Structures are given as C-alpha cells and as structure tokens.
Chain A
Amino acid sequence: MAYKDFRDFLSTLEKEGQLLTISDEVKPEPDIAAATKAMSKMGAETPAMLFDNIYGYTDAKVAMNVMGSWPNHALMMGLPKNTPLKDQFFEFARRYDQFPMEVKREETAPFHEVEITEDINLFEILPLFRLNQGDGGFYLDKGCVISRDVEDPENFGKQNVGIYRMQVKGKDRIGIQPVPQHDIAIHLRQAEERGENLPVVIALGNEPAITTAAATPLLYDQSEYEMAGAIQGEPYRIVKAKDSDLDIPWGAEVVLEGELLAGEREFEGPFGEFTGHYSGGRSMPVIKINRVYHRKNPIFEHLYIGMPWTETDYMVGINTSVPLYQQLKEAFPNEIVAVNAMYTHGLVAIVSTKRRYGGFAKAVGMRAMTTPHGLGYCKMVIVVDEDVDPFNLPQVMWALSTKLHPKHDTVIIPDLSVLALDPGSSPAGITHKMILDATTPLAPETRGHYSQPLDSPLDVDKWEQRLRELLK
C-alpha cells in the first residue's frame, strides 16, 4: 500500500474527496495560514488543501492540512477513510510491532531533476510565508531533518529523521530548534565537542509514512526509515545524499543539504507553537545550506500550527499514544487496554486499564510519567477502567464525574520534568504532575457505592449491527 511519493498521496486524497484545490488567487499572508486555521476549525474530517494561485508567484503550489484529519490519517495507513479512531490506534500498534522493516536503497530520485549549488536563495526557491502574526519570520515546520550519530556513524538505527521547527534566516541559512531532549541535539553536541560541523539534510514534501515516523517518539537507536516501512507494510525507499553519508526519503519534493555550524547560536523566534502559545526569542543553532535539489514544479508542503486542534494534533496523536501504550504494556501486560495521549502532544494522557487490586491505577499513572515520552509530557494522567474508551471523551468525563473522589483519587507529584515549551512550567521545564484515578475502587478499597452499575437492554449489540446494515 506504500505511497510512491508526496504526489501519489495527494492524488489518493483527491480520489477520496479529501483534497480541496483552491485556485482563486490568495495572498501569501494572511490567506494561506488563515484558510488552514479556518479549515481546522471545521471538525475532525477536513480535507487537505492545495493552493495553486498565490499572489506574486508564477507557478507555486502549496499543500496544507495534508494530515489534518482522521480520514487523512486513515488514508496515510492505507485504511478506509472512515476507519474509527480507536481502530486506527490498534492497527497502528499492530504495525508498530512489525518494526523494524528493512529499507530499499535507490541510486537516483525524482528530486535530482533540478540541482542548485551556487547563489542559493531559499526565499526564491521556496514559496515561504508567515503562519502566525507574532512569528519572527517564515518557518519550515514539516520538513524531515536527517543527521547521524557522530561517534557511531555506521549505525543505521542511530541516524535520525526528525521534524523540528526551522526559521529561514538568510539566503542559505536556516535556524533550527533542537531542544536537549531531541535526538539531533545529541548529534549536534557530539559534533560541537569535536569542533566539527554536523552534516544535515532537510527533505520537504514527503509521503506521509516517513513524516509520521519522524514525528513518533522512537527510542534513540530505532530507525525512522525502518518504522516508516513497518507503518506502510513494505520497505521504505531511500537514496544517498551527495555531500554526506545521510539517507534521504526517495519521494521528497525538495531537498536541502547542508551543515549545522559548530559553536554558532543566533536569535530565533518567537514562533506560535502547538501549546497554543508563542515561544519567546532565544539563541539557536544555524544550518548553512550548500546544495538544493527539487522536482520540476515542486509542491511545497507546509503545516499550520497554533491553538489546538490543528494538523499537528492529528499528525502526532496516534503515534504518540502507541509508544506509551507499548511501554505501559511491558510493565503491565495483562491490564493495559488502550492509551489516548493525543491532547497537546500528551501533556494530558488517558489510560484505560484493568486493575489487580485497590491502588493499582495510581501505579499505572506513575509509570506513564516515567516512560521516555512521559518524562517530557504526561502532566496529567487520567486513568479509567477497561470498559471506558479513552478516545471517547464523553465516556472519560462520565468516569471522572462518577468514579473520582477528589480526596482519594487526586495525586500530585511535585517538581517533575516537562518540556520547557509548556507555558505553565515554572521554572521552564519543571512542573508538578497529577494523576486522576477515575477507576472504580477495588478491594481493599471499600469506598463508594458501585455495586449496581447500569447495564444495557438485552440485544443492544445485535441491534447496533442491524442498524449499521440498514444505514449503509
């Protein structure tokens, strides 16, 4: 089911009625970001958008909201577009278990069509535009950034493909935000300690399996390419860079090759972030671009980010929930049912679990906070019973309203780590965390009156099936 390249995925979206082409003239600002934000407000089933008539440009094409809905996420996995969210979660978890899928190497790629090595001007090559009004410039925020471990360069698994925010800061200069928790920050640190620049490649306009893998909190030595292969169910195609040993997604529309400059930091930001707040201006590393390739008439992909929900939240929803689910299952294989860590990248997580004995659910909540992702997120973990669907918020709210006793079921743990972008953390990167135990008390707990849970009329399941048939 693999998509050959970005265009292949766009044409599938079009066939499925999930791509809206906007051929009326739009201005780069504020129209593209405004239209995309407006689309995000229209629900969880919105189409991608392709802008092909942008004021001042002759042939620029910009694709937005490409994975900004559950139908588009389902199509990314080659599933029917109406696949329910919970089914997408379990199918993703199943494919996650197929990791690693070996890669397929190619000699040439479509992006070799046009190559630029002199007088590079990113402002002319890419149709750049501002996303949010307070942004300090024009950003790239859906590109795959590739780098290798400097001390173990042969290790394919330690090669990293990640998505980082990048500000275009000059004709051949790009600022990047590698916070210390990011894998690329480990590579940069290794290179800087040696006094060397770090080779990097930025691939723009990719088919969605690699974007999904790049946005998944994999372990440091797990290959995103081998995960993209697992997600799409066949080997992922890659091609070598020309200036380094880095591997590039074969289907990219635009590729920028360059190096992170050792010892250099430069003013960057602010940028409207997924937390719904701007990050302030800070000094960040700089990438010098030495080589650009692109397909003829490239389609430029971009991502609107801001107050949730936007495309980001669909893009990192299931692929954040699944690693937490797998890691919790390692600890509690017989109990964990499902994990929904889709809220602001998992700052809030909901875990559905069976309980062995009273107090068990609180341990599950604490374990969520000590997973690799939980260390930077999981500020609030809501734990619910096995019969509550964590993806169904009305059910979660029912559990909170009826099962939680504030005196017994609210646990606050002081001064844990969280990502510094959490605007509530103080100092940045430190926060109290909370477990809300909305499971039914179990012996030796004796409180509450839970012996008469409401059942359904007989044959509801039978009727549900029958009605589905009738409504087809």
Chain B
Amino acid sequence: MHTCPRCESKEATVVAKSPVEGAWEVYMCPVCIFTWRSIEPETITNPEKYNRAFKVNPDDIPSAENVPALPARYIK
C-alpha cells in the first residue's frame, strides 16, 4: 500500500509496472482515483509537496456534483 499524494489515503496500489523492469511503477488511489507514476516530480508524488489547491478531502467526495445528473430511479 502507498500513500496518495492528493487525498493522503494509505490505500493506493500498484496498477502497472514498466515493461523495462525496474524503471517505474504506476499507483492508483481507490479513494480519490488519483493516478501517478513513481518517477514523476515530487510536486506530484509527495503528499507534503503536492499542490495544496489540488488536494482532495475524502469527506467531500460523496457530495461532488453528478455530471450528468442521475435519473430519478437512481436517486436514493
């Protein structure tokens, strides 16, 4: 498990490894669906250095607006 730089959940997993062994891995966070590559700059990979304007609070995700809106039959 890896820490998501964007929402800081600890649940990110490896979704791909480089075809050339050992070059990089790609991780994905199941909470905010952020994806990043291990060799990206620290402003992308490091939770402390990730741009604050783009941080995601996991508590806000369920209330994100639906685009497009759901038809009535799916509204709980």
* Residues of B contacting A188 in the complex (Cβ-Cβ under 8 angstroms): 68
> Whole-angstrom distance between the alpha carbons of A133 and B18 in the complex?
21
On whether A267 and B61 interact (CB within 8 A), knowing A29-B40, A133-B44, A168-B35, the answer reads yes
B19 and A58 contacting across the interface, CB-CB below 8 Å: yes
Main secondary structure of the interface of B (DSSP, over half): loop
B37 and A28 contacting across the interface, CB-CB below 8 Å: yes
Q: Mark B10-47, 1 if CB is under 8 A from A, else 0.
A: 00000110111001101010001111110111011000
> Whole-angstrom distance between the alpha carbons of A193 and B34 in the complex?
30
Determine whether A41 belongs to the interface, using a CB cutoff of 8 Å to chain B: no
A137 and B35 contacting across the interface, CB-CB below 8 Å: yes
Contact of B67 among A124, A168, A179 (CB under 8 A): A179
* Residues of A contacting B66 in the complex (Cβ-Cβ under 8 angstroms): 265, 282-284
B44 and A137 contacting across the interface, CB-CB below 8 Å: no
Contact of A267 among B19, B32, B71, B74 (CB under 8 A): B32
CB distance from B26 to the nearest CB of A (A): 5
Determine whether A27 belongs to the interface, using a CB cutoff of 8 Å to chain B: yes
8 Å CB contacts to A: which residues of B43-61?
A: 43-44, 51, 53-54, 56, 61
> Whole-angstrom distance between the alpha carbons of A134 and B44 in the complex?
8
On whether A57 and B18 interact (CB within 8 A), knowing A195-B73, A265-B70, A284-B67, the answer reads yes
Q: Using CB atoms, name the residue of chain A closest to B41.
A: A30
CB distance from A7 to the nearest CB of B (A): 22
Chain A contact residues (Cβ within 8 angstroms of B): what range?
35 or more
> Whole-angstrom distance between the alpha carbons of A136 and B5 in the complex?
11
B70 and A29 contacting across the interface, CB-CB below 8 Å: no
> Whole-angstrom distance between the alpha carbons of A282 and B36 in the complex?
19
* Residues of A contacting B37 in the complex (Cβ-Cβ under 8 angstroms): 28-29, 129-130
B67 and A171 contacting across the interface, CB-CB below 8 Å: no
8 Å CB contacts to B: which residues of A278-324?
A: 278, 281-285
On whether A193 and B71 interact (CB within 8 A), knowing A265-B66, A267-B64, A268-B33, the answer reads yes
CB distance from A332 to the nearest CB of B (A): 35
Q: Using CB atoms, name the residue of chain B closest to A126.
A: B16
Contact of B15 among A121, A133, A179, A195 (CB under 8 A): A121
The 7 closest A-B CB pairs, nearest first, are A56-B23, A56-B18, A123-B16, A137-B35, A263-B74, A283-B64, A58-B19
Chain A interfacial positions (CB closer than 8 Å to B): 27-30, 55-58, 60, 121, 123-124, 128-130, 133-134, 136-138, 167-171, 175, 177-180, 185, 188-189, 192-193, 195, 262-263, 265-268, 270, 278, 281-285
